[in-house]
Copies of this chain bind each other. A is one copy, B any other.
């Protein structure tokens, strides 16, 4: 897998700056953008069963990759607009999730932590 996110961030920033689009990139709009593109990923899975969702044909898989790319691009721009390091944010969240979902309670269960007994 591609490791460097900094290079991608720089490329996305340059793309936006060259087009003078920072004026449109308010966090509110970028948050909507993330959600719009997330829904476009989801649309590809609307009618398939959970099992079938693993086995996309090549065309569908390319389309899903395309939408995943869009989500990541918007997420990077949102992080930039709010000065949030998205990788650090995910890492912090993972730390919190380890607390909320200890292995002995969460193993093999899709229960939300608020419903643990």
Contact = CB atoms under 8 A, between A and B. Distances in A.
A90 B78 contact: no
Given A15-B97, A61-B82, A8 B40 contact: no
State the oligomeric state as a number of copies.
4
Contact of A87 (B2, B98, B103): B2
A90 B61 contact: no
The DSSP consensus for interface residues of chain A is helix
A3 B3 CA distance: 7
24 contacts: A2-B87, A12-B90, A15-B94, A20-B108, A21-B106, A27-B45, A27-B53, A28-B48, A29-B46, A29-B53, A31-B42, A31-B53, A32-B46, A33-B46, A34-B38, A35-B39, A36-B39, A36-B42, A36-B43, A36-B46, A49-B50, A68-B90, A69-B93, A75-B75
Given A24-B47, A38-B39, 12 more contacts: A11-B94, A15-B97, A20-B107, A27-B54, A28-B48, A32-B42, A34-B41, A36-B43, A38-B38, A66-B93, A72-B75, A72-B87
